[in-house]
């Protein structure tokens, strides 16, 4: 049973080294556990606005994979990719996949849609009033856009979409997020729009956000429509890379892919891929992204086509949530990783999205080859077994 209360501090002291040390001492006293390993001094103020009740830091290892050669719309050239994980074998596998991409002449990448949406539900007196509210919104787009301009310097409203449901109107606000990941921006701005609409209509009841946006959940709506950066990466995987580097064959990889695709339908999952979640999480942790969105972002598609003794690989991620401003991107250990990738400054988010897609492509190529040629378990036994003493 907790015997005392958590120490409290003024807003100016909340993220100080002193406050962190006092909270950690309190937790040690209450739990009876030595937490000295969580101590790290000198950077407390940098985390202001990113965490509450901070009592220390958790250290995670970061590895490097590459070089990764890209011929993208925004990402061009070779990249060394930082990856944070505690899963042995993971970085080695992605490193192998990146070498295969580079040996094959580089991956083509593109962001084919760059939109993020949020939803609100308005309650009206009747179905007829729903039509009236929609007409008012369609006729007052300038006023709605003015709220956006007054509320943010990142992103702009592209359009409003409408779903009438009885006496309720679901409004989908669609934005260009610029270089931000966008969730905080659209939450703040959309609420301001809803408040303006409600005030203009005599205090009309609204609920924001609406579950239609599927935030941090796997939904067919976002899988088919896309949310965030919709991105793809493709590569003609050459015979030399398949045989000499991946130690497999086009026939073996294609056979496994087709069998796995057919069996995969039995799970009833959304999308089809080997392990896109690993790449998004590892690169996301390195670059200060909100990795909770992997629940949506990982619902991608990996496809393979036979081209003689070569294979055309393509990875499509309809809802990738990455940004280069805001969130954790400015933190002391994450900003250097973005700088290493050349993804700071205007347009950096689109470049980063393409690097994410190509990183996931590398992971798909490597693990699919490993399973197809029965290397997967042997590799994990050799590299990924952290055996207790």
pLDDT tens digits, one per residue of 76-126: 999 999 999 999 999 999 999 999 999 999 999 999 999 999 999 999 999
For the question of residue 87 being annotated catalytic, the response is yes
Residues 105, 78: Cα–Cα separation, whole Å = 11
Per-residue pLDDT tens for 214-248?
A: 888 888 888 889 999 999 999 999 999 999 999 99
- With CA atoms as reference, report the closest residue to 282 among 57, 72, 56, 60: 60
Q: Return all residues near 230 (Cβ < 8 A) that are at least 6 apart.
A: 111, 112, 113, 114, 115, 317, 318, 319, 320
Distance CA 141, CA 165 (A): 22
Average confidence (pLDDT) over 21-47 = 94
CATH numbers and ranges of domains, the chain: 1-59 (no CATH), 66-112+228-383 (3.90.770.10), 115-213 (3.30.70.420)
Q: How far apart are CA 147 and CA 334, in angstroms?
A: 32
Alpha carbons 143 and 160: distance in angstroms, whole number: 13
pLDDT 10s digits, 283-295 = 999 999 999 999 9
Specify the pLDDT at position 378: 74
Catalytic residue among 17, 28, 73, 290: 290
DSSP string across 349-382: HHHHHHHHHHHHHHHHHHHHHHHHTT-HHHHHHH
Is 138 a known active-site residue?
no
For the chain, the average pLDDT equals 93
Residue 79, phi then psi, degrees to nearest 5:
-130, 140
Query: Is 380 among the catalytic positions?
Result: yes
Point out which residues pair with 166 in neighbouring strands. Answer: none
Q: Which residues are CB-neighbours of 158 under 8 A, at least 6 positions away? A: 115, 174, 175, 176
Report pLDDT digits (tens) over 327-360: 999 999 999 999 999 999 788 999 999 999 999 9
Residue tagged active-site, from 87, 115, 123, 306: 87
pLDDT of residue 388 exceeding 60, the answer is no
Of residues 191, 201, 207, 380, which has the active-site annotation?
380
pLDDT given at position 94: 98
């Amino acid at each position: 049973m907790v015997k005392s209360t958590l120490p409290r501090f003024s807003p100016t002291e909340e993220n100080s080294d002193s406050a962190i040390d006092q909270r950690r001492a309190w937790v040690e006293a209450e739990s009876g556990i030595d937490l000295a390993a969580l101590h790290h001094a000198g950077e407390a103020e940098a985390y202001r606005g990113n965490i509450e009740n901070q009592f220390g830091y958790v250290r995670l290892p970061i590895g490097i994979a590459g070089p990764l050669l890209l011929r993208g719309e925004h990402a061009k050239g070779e990249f060394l990719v930082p990856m944070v994980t505690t899963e042995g074998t993971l970085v080695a596998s992605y490193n192998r996949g990146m070498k295969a991409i580079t040996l094959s002449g580089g991956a083509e990448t593109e962001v084919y849609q760059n939109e993020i949406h949020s939803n609100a539900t308005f309650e009206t007196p009747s179905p007829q009033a729903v039509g009236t509210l929609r007409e008012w919104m369609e006729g007052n787009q300038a006023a709605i856009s003015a709220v956006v301009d007054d509320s943010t310097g990142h992103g702009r409203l592209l359009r409003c979409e409408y779903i009438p449901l009885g006496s309720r109107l679901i409004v989908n606000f669609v934005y260009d997020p610029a270089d931000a990941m966008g969730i905080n921006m659209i939450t703040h701005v959309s609420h301001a729009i809803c408040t303006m609409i409600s005030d203009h209509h005599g205090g009309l009841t609204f609920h924001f956000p609406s579950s239609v946006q599927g935030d941090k959940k796997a939904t067919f709506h976002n899988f088919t429509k896309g949310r965030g950066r919709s991105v793809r990466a493709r590569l003609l995987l050459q015979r030399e890379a398949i045989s000499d580097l991946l130690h497999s064959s086009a026939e073996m990889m294609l056979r496994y892919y087709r069998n796995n695709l057919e069996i995969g339908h039995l799970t009833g999952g959304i999308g089809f891929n080997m392990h896109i979640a690993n790449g998004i999480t590892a690169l996301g942790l390195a670059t200060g992204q909100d990795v909770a969105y992997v629940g949506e972002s990982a619902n991608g598609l990996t496809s393979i086509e036979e081209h003689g003794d070569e294979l055309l690989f393509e990875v499509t991620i309809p809802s990738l949530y990455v940004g280069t401003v805001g969130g954790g991107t400015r933190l002391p250990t994450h900003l250097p990783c973005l700088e290493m990738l050349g993804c700071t400054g205007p347009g950096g988010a689109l470049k980063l999205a393409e690097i994410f897609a190509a990183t996931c492509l590398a992971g798909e190529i490597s693990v699919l080859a490993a399973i197809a040629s029965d290397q997967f378990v042997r590799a994990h036994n050799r590299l990924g077994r952290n055996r207790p003493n």
